[in-house]
A and B are shown apart, each in its own frame.
Chain A
């Protein structure tokens, strides 16, 4: 089942999401990228109702791109997260609400700081040092609480993330097999092999 994790470090945010696309009990795809690049320093991992997820993520992606084109600079992570949360909250009160859970991680180039936001389909938003969605969160939260270091290096952050993923793989019956990991820092966004 779908799992996503994220954590902040000294000057970066790590975002990880599984790469399986399933329908009922069937795995349809094992290399699905569920982490969207919203702007040069902003990542969003999405999970939830199939169909809703991609539709909503693309809507967000394009609107944030539009803001970037119109204003020459992109939205800062805190503003982007606030707008994304608002979009979800407005959708919740419509006839067909999107059922999507998000982790938004970004690096604010204005003050050189990493930011991470946990957002669920009800439009709840929390600013957090580490976060998880899906069944993996039941295993990872305690580990992240114990091992997360807000001033840690990238290696340290990756070790903590590996711990969370390994524990989920070990204990969860329906654990996903593969994860995609992306990092955002002052240099932008890149994918990392775990």
Chain B
């Protein structure tokens, strides 16, 4: 729990036609090689936000190594469900699978629990768009908007003030970017500090479509919302 309260913030907002996730990256620096994140893969830099299944995106806060192990487990669980039932795993069931694993480590002696909190942004035909949070003890709960990691209290109160029921994805993206800019420790916002993802329905196929933003797309998004690096200070006051 202690590790998580220091970890980079991960924030999720549920909209009526999608779910938005954003995460603050802690590991940065001029010498860090980010070239891998710029192209290849499915977007994102693979540090905080991951594609768990075609219908679920996961955001991780806590010990990165533990997180990677859980991501791996989640992906296996999702594929196992696909094999057995020929359908995408329902979001809550995936959260339950991980929580069953996490709970196990709190019950038996000798082993250390996973120091990881997760946000799950997903879609299934039973409950449509959903946002779940799970903590290291194996508790999970569903949310309209929530936040884990450092400064989660500030972010939660900001979200509580600004969240409206039947918010659209576009508005949710704006809300997430604004809240992120206010809660992050650093004063500069940019793709090297931020990961971003949106889950919507493909208008043609009606299948869930997960989009994890590439660094250039994150920068473009910040420019669009007037929160890019340079004019940060003036914009912060008006936001």
Q: Among residues 109 to 150 in chain B, which have CB atoms less than 8 Å away from a CB atom of chain A?
A: 125-126
Asked if B126 contacts A83 (CB within 8 A), the reply is: no
Q: Which residues of B in the span 79-96 have a Cβ within 8 Å of any Cβ on A?
A: 83-87, 90, 92-93
With A71-B90, A71-B93 as given contacts, are A110 and B85 in contact (CB-CB < 8 Å)?
no
Contact check: which of B83, B84, B86, B126 meets A73 at CB < 8 Å? B126
Chain B residues near A78 (CB-CB < 8 A): 86-87
A76-B87 CB under 8 A given contacts A110-B125, A111-B125? yes
Contact A82 B85 (CB under 8 A): yes
Bound-complex Cα distance A111 to B207 (A):
13
Does any Cβ of B come within 8 Å of A86's Cβ?
A: yes
Task: Kindly identify which residue among B83, B84, B92, B125 contacts A76, using a CB–CB cutoff of 8 Å.
Answer: B125
> CB-CB < 8 A to B125: which residues of A?
76, 110-111
Residue of B nearest to A82 (CB): B86
Question: Is there contact, CB below 8 Å, between A83 and B90?
Answer: no
The reply to whether A79 and B93 form a contact with Cβ atoms under 8 Å apart is no
Once bound together, how far apart are the Cα atoms of A86 and B84, in whole Å? 7
- How far, in whole Å, are A73 and B127 apart by their CA atoms in the complex? 10
Q: Is A75 an interface residue when CB atoms closer than 8 A count as contact?
A: yes
Interface size on A, residues (CB 8 A): 12
Question: Cβ of A82: which chain B residues have Cβ within 8 Å of it?
Answer: 84-87
- In the complex, what's the smallest C-beta–C-beta distance from A124 to chain B, in angstroms? 15
Q: CA separation between A111 and B87, bound complex, in Å?
A: 14
Decide if B126 touches A79 in the complex (CB within 8 Å): no
Select from chain A the residue with minimum beta-carbon distance to B127.
A73
User: 0/1 per residue, A108-137, Cβ < 8 Å to B?
Assistant: 001100000000000000000000000000
* Minimum Cβ distance to chain B for residue A12 (Å): 20
Q: Collect the chain B residues with CB atoms within 8 Å of residue A86's CB.
A: 83-84
Q: Which residue of B lies closest to A74 (CB)?
A: B126
Complex CA–CA separation, A111 to B206 (angstroms): 11
The complex places the Cα of A100 from the Cα of B181 at a distance, in Å, of 61
| Shortest Cβ gap from B147 to chain A (Å) | 27
Nearest CB of A to B84, in Å: 6
**Residue of B86, B92, B125 ringed by the most chain A CB atoms within 10 A:** B86
Across the two chains, which residue of chain A brings its CB closest to B126?
A73
A79 to B81, CA, bound (A): 10
Q: Report chain A residues within 8 Å CB of B85.
A: 75, 79-80, 82-83
A75 to B87, CA, bound (A): 10
- CB-defined contacts of B92 to chain A, threshold 8 Å: 71
| A87, closest chain B residue (CB) | B84
Closest to A79 in B: B85
Interfacial chain B residues near A76, Cβ < 8 Å: 87, 125
Residues of B within 8 A of A71 (CB): 90, 92-93
Of A73, A78, A80, A111, the most chain B CB neighbours within 10 A belong to A73
Q: Write out the residue numbers on chain B whose beta carbons fall within 8 Å of the beta carbon of A80.
A: 85
Which of B83, B85, B125, B126 counts the most chain A CB atoms within 10 A? B85
Query: Are the C-beta atoms of A110 and B126 separated by less than 8 Å?
Result: yes
Q: List 20 A-B contacts (CB under 8 A).
A: A71-B90, A71-B92, A71-B93, A73-B126, A75-B85, A76-B125, A78-B86, A78-B87, A79-B86, A79-B87, A80-B85, A82-B84, A82-B85, A82-B86, A82-B87, A83-B84, A83-B85, A86-B83, A86-B84, A111-B125
Known: A71-B93, A83-B84, A83-B85. 11 other contacts (CB 8 A): A71-B92, A76-B87, A76-B125, A78-B86, A79-B85, A79-B87, A82-B85, A86-B83, A86-B84, A110-B126, A111-B125
Closest 4 CB pairs of A and B: A82-B86, A79-B85, A110-B125, A79-B87
